[in-house]
Structure 1
Amino acid sequence: MIRAFGIVLIATLAGCAATPPTPEEAAARCEERARAAQAPTGGVSVGVNSNSGVSTGINIGLSGDFLRGRDPQEVYESCVIELTGETPIRPARLRSL
């Protein structure tokens, strides 16, 4: 009985995980990936507190698509197709460099 319940539970969870994103969700996720293919990302932080004084931080991100020199528009289109099995519903909204 417990084993059968476990199998049903796993099958149910697997079905939920396999639900593809909506076309708009896929577009938003893939735009982020395409933006990362355009240029390195990063940020700088500076903070002050009474215990440790001044703190600073720097982070730089380089996507594999950027390092391989992939076209951001192609990254977007292939990502949407991979997630939904369909072509994009709209062009990517990417920042201009």
Structure 2
Amino acid sequence: MRLVFALIALLPLIACGPIPRAQAERECLQRARLAEHPRGELGVGLGSGGRRDVFGEITFSNDYLQGKDPSQVYRNCVVQRSGEMPSRPFTSIPASHY
């Protein structure tokens, strides 16, 4: 019975373990991308009866505000999540993969 309780108590720690490097690279790519510069969109719409709509959104990260190097952000994130170095540097990932 104690073994069962001990295993249940360890479950949260198991969830914090490393993830596969490829998965970490995919997850960290967005973070590094936001460290480069803010992202956003702006839209203007015109509806029937002359109704106008304007909307916008801007996303930026603390890494960007702190002036961190996106390559370093990517590398640190991958190592932290997977325990391994990235398979290739951030600068070699084509923009189309963003």
TM beyond 0.5:
yes
1:31–1:94 Cα contact (<8 Å) kept: no
Alpha-carbon distance between aligned partners in 2 of 1:94 and 1:33, rounded to the nearest angstrom: 15
Structure 1 stretches lacking a partner, 5+ long: none
Q: Is the 8 A contact 2:39 2:59 kept in 1?
A: yes
Q: Is the 8 A contact 2:43 2:56 kept in 1?
A: yes
Equivalence for 1:57: 55
C-alpha displacement of 1:28:
1.1
Task: Specify the alignment match of 1:78 in structure 2.
Answer: 76
Q: Percent identity?
A: 38
Greater share of residues in helix: 2
User: Could you list the per-position Cα deviations for residues 39-94 of structure 1 after superposition, in whole angstroms to 9, with x for gaps in the alignment?
Assistant: 111112345667xx443211111210011111100000000111011211222226
Report the CA distance shift for 1:12/1:47 in structure 2 as closer, same or farther (over 3 A): farther
Q: Which runs of 4+ in 1 moved over 4 A?
A: 7-13, 47-50
Structure 2: 5+ residue runs without aligned partners? none
TM-score, normalization by structure 2:
0.70
Q: Taking structure 1 as reference, are residues 8 and 73 closer, same or farther at Cα in structure 2, changes over 3 Å only?
A: same
Q: In the alignment, is the contact (CA less than 8 A) between 2:38 and 2:58 conserved in 1? A: yes
TM-score (norm 1): 0.70
Across the aligned residues of Structure 1 and Structure 2, the Cα RMSD in angstroms comes to 3.2
Structure-2 separation of matches of 1:48 and 1:10: 57
